[in-house]
Chains A and B, each alone.
Chain A
Amino acid sequence: MSEAQQPYLKIEDLTKHFGEFVAVRELSLEINGGEFVCFLGPSGCGKTTLLRAIAGLDPQTTGRITQNGQDISSLPPSERDFGIVFQSYALFPNLTVFQNIAYGLENQRVPKPEIRKRVVELLELVGLPEQTSKYPAQLSGGQQQRVALARALATSPGLLLLDEPLSALDARVRASLRQEIRALHQRLGITTILVTHDQEEALSMADRIVVMDHGSIEQVGTPEEIYSTPASPFVADFIGVMNFMEAEVVASGTIRVGETSLSCDTTNVSSGEKVRMTVRPEDLRCHTKTVDLPNGLPVHVDTLEFLGSFCRLKLKGPEGFSTLRADLSLQQVHQLKAAPDVPLTVEFPPDSLRLFPDIQ
């Protein structure tokens, strides 16, 4: 079956100009059928622009989009196959929940009883049975977003586009809707693209994340890949919390940070090169001051921030080190008697250190 190997959606060399401004630059991407993909990036990086180009709402300046084997680049949105949900929900205010969801079906001349059946089915799917005759203004934000989702799914599109669907909701509703959208996707298997600037959202929902910055793709990968092996300092910084240090490669397998030598994997950089070393706060290990370790560094605690299930310590090292952040469990904090000005030794596990060529 060669069909199965073809990606469902293929974007080739897509560029979008707004006058002189380039919002998306020569972007290429493949999305497989049934995949849940998140476009993740800071606000203004071109995620919405890319999504709207896929929908045909704001066509790209150049480039090609192929959906299900068909070149859709020049098709108007009404001839493309997608459902879309916006941050603002865009529910029709003067139509009931039922009428909103049935809106697309009525136009397809679906018989009345079938429409009714389908709407009820969809409402159950999004967890809102028995709300059929209410108007959008009478629903909470989360409920409205569910209706918008049901409306987008009603015509059984091949591609579901979600533009920051959860950003207008409060934290609790957002968390539960995340799980529900994810579960919905598992059940329906519909190819889904979700745009978000919230890394947690992307990490918890996506099969694959497309990290974008300044209109280009920085990295594509599973949430784990993106988190544990960021392809660039931008991704490393944008996803999760990261410590950055200026360093220099002194020999194969050894770098120097300030006056301290550390061993780590140097395969992707060459000797004598200036690099940026990164390490996640949760990968740093803290010990009492007396311990002497190969990849250790004497530091003292600057501040201590309580974050619920763990503590984030700010550590001051010797000259040449910027302030380090390290995450410790509460138990460890007690064991080490960590408090401001307490001296500690921090260990850099060689596997957790990643080096990036220093471009600046």
Chain B
Amino acid sequence: MSSASISASAAPVRIRLSRDDMVLRTALVVIIALLAVAVVFPLYSLLSMSLQDMDGEYVGLENFRIYFDTPALFASITNSLSVAISATLIVLGIAFVYAYALTRTRMPLRWFFRGVALIPILAPSLLAAISLIYWFGNQGVLKSWLGGGSIYGPVGIIIGSCFWVFPHALMILLTALSTADARLYEAAEALRTPKWRVFWTVTLPGAKYGILSAGFVVFTLVITDFGVPKVIGGRYNVLATDVYKQVVGQQNFEMGAVVSLVLLLPALVAFIADRWVQRKQVALLSARAVPYQPKSEPLRDGLRFIFCTIVAVTLLAMIAMAAYASFVTFWPYNLTLSLKNYNFDVMDGGGWEAYFNSIRMAIYCAIFGTGLIFVGGYLVEKARGVSWLRTLLHLAAMLPLAVPGLVLGIAYIFFFNHPDNPLGFLYGTMGILVICTIVHFYTVSHLTCLTALKQLDPEFEAVSLSLKTPVWRTVGKVTLPVCLPALLDVGSYLFLNAMTTVSAVVFLYSPETMLASVAVLNMDDAGDIAPAAAMAMMIVYTSAVFRILHALLARILQRRTQVWRKR
């Protein structure tokens, strides 16, 4: 031991904790405990449920044996994988070309294409499936295009998935492609490298990690999504719909637990692989690069323009059809427009109250979620000492990204609905919906906060201490104002996701806390597809208005702070 060199009499110095230190440490412990209760314990319940029989007896891996011996269930694994892999490859291909055109060329109307591509984020994944039914379903406008094929099944799932995951893939690829180093291209040009070789040797390797990362994200989103296959999957079973059927349809919780663990596996693998890729990427970006200025290439830009137009028109067609159908009085017999489908109160599915519940939940998530996640991020990044506690909190904050919403929802049933759980009173309330949704989208928000906090000088806290200023004052006067744009982003991210999410909350709502997105699902289930489209469009309208407000607010904020941000 190196400490042997110290004289034995010297006692290690222990600094007395100041009040700030104690407040911060308490907060650290509290948030870790919250995340333990909201993530770790439920997952543990899920795990133990999968090892029980119907009477709660421990049966080891018996449930898993039954699962793998039941061909109907087992087939879902291959179905899920083939659908997810197909959708991933298609989306990656299209999104890469689209992102390339937006970042590396001088194609006209790039701002327009960028805006259109983000539209799917405003809608629940269900909307894509509903829209597809109107286009290609039994009474679809373009049914003949399929030749005798059916949209209900893998084809519909793949197309619908591609629609709603497109912006997620695009955003990652835009980031990956926008960090080009002009010096590499100049060097390639100086060596008279042909364009296609530059693409293969410079562009693709540079974007490699972005492409991989986008691939993992898309794969996970598709394989864990439940909205699209539920609406348009027909008799084609996938893991996500199996979970729902086992739990909601057959009340077979043990088998539901088994299937959701099977679903957790690919998500977990993709998560770990993505973390690994992200770590590589950091090293790549840290080099000082000279921004790349694309040149105009009329012919190629024209081809790209046509490609992007086709993609954008397709995206718009999906939204437009849902919007149109929501106003049609009685598809396809009475095409006059009316608001009949928006008269939710006369239909099953929760009525207008579901819509207002959704808004309430989204606001709670935005406010409490942003507050909690920011405090957590602050503690991870800026608290003094206790580095093991901070690491623990960070790990707990990263965990939700690996857990699909469906899995989280089921885990919540098992945990909060357990008769011995003192937190059981939360079950069926708005509270559990808010908690579940915040946790579901915790990781991305946490990372956004960390990125913002890392940009602050690490010595601000030391300076405040030397000026005998309590930590909350510096947080209020400096840290929060400087991080405000990031906080707005986090709040907006939580709001939009809370509006559109289905997968976790579908297990947790009660008649009083019905949500708009769940109402879409239920109305579709009941055959009320037009009202389902109308409710889905209500979500889109709301999200769009919210996005615009957010953009305005961000603009005002930027104008107000640009005095001190300007370098």
Q: Do A and B bind each other?
A: yes
Q: Indicate with 1 or 0, residue by residue over B5-40, a CB within 8 angstroms of chain A CB atoms.
A: 111001111111110110000000000000000000
Q: Let me know if B17 and A62 touch, CB within 8 A.
A: no
* A89 to B, closest residue via Cβ: B457
B477: which A residues are within 8 A, CB to CB? 92, 95, 103
Q: Let me know if B467 and A137 touch, CB within 8 A.
A: no
CB of B336 within 8 A of chain A?
no
CB of A352 within 8 A of chain B?
no
Tell me the bound Cα distance from A78 to B13 in angstroms.
Answer: 17
B462: which A residues are within 8 A, CB to CB? 55, 57, 77, 84, 86, 90
Contact flag A76-B468 (CB < 8 Å), given A61-B12, A90-B460: no
A63: which B residues are within 8 A, CB to CB? 10, 13
Q: Let me know if B16 and A75 touch, CB within 8 A.
A: yes
Partner of A84, one of B20, B21, B466, B561: B466
Task: Give the interface segment out of A12-20, A180-188, A249-257, A325-333.
Answer: A12-20
B15: which A residues are within 8 A, CB to CB? 56, 59, 74-76
Q: Let me know if B18 and A62 touch, CB within 8 A.
A: no
CB of A151 within 8 A of chain B?
yes
Partner of A73, one of B13, B466, B470: B13
B483 to chain A, nearest CB (A): 10
B463: which A residues are within 8 A, CB to CB? 84, 86, 90, 151
CB of A138 within 8 A of chain B?
yes
Q: Which of A53-86 contact B (CB under 8 A)?
A: 55-57, 59-63, 73-79, 82-84, 86
A264 to chain B, nearest CB (A): 37
B538 to chain A, nearest CB (A): 39
Partner of A78, one of B2, B3, B468, B565: B468
Q: Let me know if B16 and A93 touch, CB within 8 A.
A: no
Interface residues in B, total, Cβ within 8 A: 40
Q: Let me know if A83 and B478 touch, CB within 8 A.
A: no
CB of B559 within 8 A of chain A?
no
Q: Let me know if B6 and A94 touch, CB within 8 A.
A: no
A79: which B residues are within 8 A, CB to CB? 16, 18
Q: Indicate with 1 or 0, residue by residue over A107-137, a CB within 8 angstroms of chain B CB atoms.
A: 1100000000000000000000000000111
B465: which A residues are within 8 A, CB to CB? 56-57, 76-78
Q: Let me know if B469 and A103 touch, CB within 8 A.
A: yes
B467: which A residues are within 8 A, CB to CB? 83, 103-104, 107, 151, 154-155
* A93 to B, closest residue via Cβ: B564
Q: Let me know if A15 and B21 touch, CB within 8 A.
A: no
Partner of B13, one of A61, A88, A89, A107: A61
Q: Let me know if A62 and B13 touch, CB within 8 A.
A: yes
Q: Let me know if B466 and A93 touch, CB within 8 A.
A: no
Output the residue of B5, B460, B466 with the most chain A CB within 10 A: B466
* A55 to B, closest residue via Cβ: B466
Q: Let me know if A95 and B478 touch, CB within 8 A.
A: yes
A103: which B residues are within 8 A, CB to CB? 464, 467, 469, 477
CB of B567 within 8 A of chain A?
yes
B18 to chain A, nearest CB (A): 4
* B461 to A, closest residue via Cβ: A57
Q: Let me know if A108 and B468 touch, CB within 8 A.
A: yes
* B565 to A, closest residue via Cβ: A137
A297: which B residues are within 8 A, CB to CB? none
B482: which A residues are within 8 A, CB to CB? 93-94
B566: which A residues are within 8 A, CB to CB? 137-138
Tell me the bound Cα distance from A102 to B116 in angstroms.
Answer: 48
* B566 to A, closest residue via Cβ: A137
Tell me the bound Cα distance from A25 to B460 in angstroms.
Answer: 28
Partner of A90, one of B18, B459, B565: B459
Q: Which of B458-506 contact A (CB under 8 A)?
A: 459-460, 462-470, 473, 477-478, 481-482
Tell me the bound Cα distance from A108 to B468 in angstroms.
Answer: 8
Q: Let me know if A22 and B561 touch, CB within 8 A.
A: no
A95: which B residues are within 8 A, CB to CB? 477-478
Q: Let me know if B18 and A15 touch, CB within 8 A.
A: no
Tell me the bound Cα distance from A59 to B385 in angstroms.
Answer: 10
Q: Let me know if B20 and A135 touch, CB within 8 A.
A: no
Contact flag A107-B16 (CB < 8 Å), given A55-B462, A86-B462: no
CB of B563 within 8 A of chain A?
yes
Partner of B459, one of A76, A86, A137: A86
Tell me the bound Cα distance from A315 to B466 in angstroms.
Answer: 53
B215 to chain A, nearest CB (A): 38
* A53 to B, closest residue via Cβ: B13
A90 to chain B, nearest CB (A): 4
Q: Let me know if B468 and A13 touch, CB within 8 A.
A: no
Tell me the bound Cα distance from A155 to B5 in angstroms.
Answer: 40
Q: Let me know if A88 and B567 touch, CB within 8 A.
A: no
Contact flag A60-B13 (CB < 8 Å), given A55-B462, A93-B482, A151-B467: yes
Tell me the bound Cα distance from A152 to B566 in angstroms.
Answer: 25
Tell me the bound Cα distance from A62 to B13 in angstroms.
Answer: 5
A24 to chain B, nearest CB (A): 12
Q: Let me know if A62 and B10 touch, CB within 8 A.
A: yes
Tell me the bound Cα distance from A95 to B465 in angstroms.
Answer: 17
CB of A246 within 8 A of chain B?
no
* A84 to B, closest residue via Cβ: B466
Q: Which of A162-177 contact B (CB under 8 A)?
A: none
Q: Let me know if B13 and A93 touch, CB within 8 A.
A: no
Q: Let me know if B16 and A76 touch, CB within 8 A.
A: yes
Q: Let me know if B468 and A155 touch, CB within 8 A.
A: yes
Tell me the bound Cα distance from A25 to B2 in angstroms.
Answer: 11
Q: Let me know if B16 and A62 touch, CB within 8 A.
A: no
Tell me the bound Cα distance from A75 to B463 in angstroms.
Answer: 16
A171 to chain B, nearest CB (A): 22
Tell me the bound Cα distance from A79 to B19 in angstroms.
Answer: 11
Contact flag A104-B11 (CB < 8 Å), given A17-B2, A90-B457, A94-B478: no
B18: which A residues are within 8 A, CB to CB? 76-79
* B20 to A, closest residue via Cβ: A78
B473 to chain A, nearest CB (A): 7
Tell me the bound Cα distance from A92 to B5 in angstroms.
Answer: 42
Output the residue of B11, B462, B464 with the most chain A CB within 10 A: B462
Q: Which of A37-63 contact B (CB under 8 A)?
A: 55-57, 59-63
B472 to chain A, nearest CB (A): 11
* B484 to A, closest residue via Cβ: A94
Tell me the bound Cα distance from A183 to B17 in angstroms.
Answer: 37
CB of A207 within 8 A of chain B?
no
Partner of A74, one of B7, B16, B564, B567: B16
Tell me the bound Cα distance from A157 to B16 in angstroms.
Answer: 21
* A52 to B, closest residue via Cβ: B462
Partner of A26, one of B2, B6, B12: B6
Tell me the bound Cα distance from A10 to B388 in angstroms.
Answer: 32
Tell me the bound Cα distance from A88 to B457 in angstroms.
Answer: 8
A92: which B residues are within 8 A, CB to CB? 460, 477-478
Tell me the bound Cα distance from A22 to B564 in angstroms.
Answer: 41
Output the residue of A13, A78, A88, A104 with the most chain B CB within 10 A: A78
The 4 residue pairs across chains A and B that have the minimum distance between CB atoms: A104-B467, A135-B564, A76-B18, A90-B459
A interface, CB within 8 angstroms of B: 13, 15, 17, 20, 22, 25-26, 55-57, 59-63, 73-79, 82-84, 86, 88-90, 92-95, 103-104, 107-108, 135-138, 151-152, 154-155, 157
A-B contact pairs, 23 of them (CB 8 A): A22-B2, A55-B462, A59-B15, A63-B10, A74-B13, A74-B14, A74-B16, A76-B21, A78-B18, A79-B18, A84-B463, A84-B466, A88-B457, A90-B459, A90-B462, A90-B463, A93-B564, A94-B561, A104-B467, A107-B470, A135-B564, A137-B564, A154-B467
B interface, CB within 8 angstroms of A: 2-3, 5-7, 10-18, 20-21, 384, 457, 459-460, 462-470, 473, 477-478, 481-482, 561, 563-567
Known: A57-B384, A63-B13, A79-B16. 10 other contacts (CB 8 A): A15-B10, A55-B466, A61-B12, A90-B463, A93-B478, A94-B482, A95-B477, A107-B468, A107-B470, A157-B466
